[in-house]
Amino acid sequence: MADATMQPAILARGISKRFGDFVAVDRLDLRVPRTRVYGFLGPNGSGKSTTIRMLCGLLTQSEGEIEVLGLNVPRDSEAVRRRIGYMPQRFSLYEDLTVRENLEFLGAVQGLERKRRRARIDELLRTYYLAARAGQLAGSLSGGQKQRLMLAGAVIHAPELLFLDEPTSAVDPESRRDFWEKLFDLADIGTTILVSTHYMDEAERCHRIAILDRGRLVADGEPAALARRLKGRTWGVESLQPRKVQAALREVDGVISIAQVGTELRVLCEEDGGIDERLRNKLQETGLRADIRPIEPNLEDVFVAVTQPQAQAARE
């Protein structure tokens, strides 16, 4: 019999979700390894939340097969829910209950015996810096405090697998950074985490990411490995007239996107060995001066490279 720790936490084959004629998720394959932070990256409407809800058993897929922790979804959804945690994007706890009362309620729902429940709540209040807020109404907490309370509630029963749906969309950068440290603490003790985000810096922190666009999987791999695949396709352009240079280079055949970062332009191109010469020729034609050099691609370049072709096809 295969070692359960060697089996993926999530295995999805060809899953789709249709709402009438609208296809929200289109024949998606996923393999999420255990004890890793696996990121879902994609624009709004890309199918991230719908996919998470199918994997949790909250939505039934229109087609395809899902295994979560070795169990079939939706057939074994009740058994799956006892072993997973779920944190939605919006605050969903009781604002008119205190922090401790919310955790008491969630612990009871998860079937924790009273003595164990109280010990677990005390532990979580310390871990998520909420001990001083235990008697405070949840509705009066700051955004970062609500976020930590939601996470504490999602892991009160020590789930093997944790789903997080854009959990940091409404908090400040410092709270986001602290939140991610807590996620890695959970991974270190054996929790598998699937987290959706639209922040590039968060996606770069994941052990592995999947990029979704218009319901389809367009990239899957380690962030650094995905970026390396774009080697030779990203160029840095420095000029005293970056806006004019940007307008001129947009006309060059093979340029996918140009983004200004400070005074430098990041130019992403198609796989074409002669692109740098065409960039220089265009500048010479227009009388603009600029320094062009190859630069290392990053995850934002990957995101643009895999999503822009679909966006262009949708417009045509």
Dump pLDDT digits (tens) for 233-265.
Answer: 999 999 999 999 999 999 999 999 999 998 899
Question: Cβ distance 227 to 195 under 8 Å?
Answer: no
Start-end ranges of CATH 3.40.50.300 in the chain? 4-221
CA distances from 118 to 14, 101, 104, 144, 146 (A): 43, 11, 8, 23, 20
Question: Cβ distance 171 to 179 under 8 Å?
Answer: yes
pTM, two decimals, is 0.89
Dump pLDDT digits (tens) for 130-141.
Answer: 999 999 999 999
Q: Give the dihedral sign, CA 119/121/126/131.
A: negative
Report how far residue 100's alpha carbon sits from residue 22's, in angstroms, rounded to the nearest whole number: 42
Q: Which amino acid is at 281?
A: N
Give SS3 for 283: helix
Question: Cβ distance 117 to 107 under 8 Å?
Answer: yes
Q: For domain 232-296, give the fold.
A: Alpha-Beta Plaits (3.30.70)
Dump pLDDT digits (tens) for 267-296.
Answer: 999 987 788 899 999 999 999 999 999 999
**CA-based angle 151:152:157, to the nearest 5?**
110
Q: Does residue 74 have a cis bond before it (omega within 30 degrees)?
A: yes
Report how far residue 265's alpha carbon sits from residue 290's, in angstroms, rounded to the nearest whole number: 10
Report how far residue 212's alpha carbon sits from residue 287's, in angstroms, rounded to the nearest whole number: 41
- For residue 200, how many C-alpha atoms fall within 13 Å in the half-sphere facing its CB? 9
What CATH number does the domain located at 4-221 have?
A: 3.40.50.300
Q: Is the pLDDT of residue 311 over 80?
A: no
Give SS3 for 292: strand
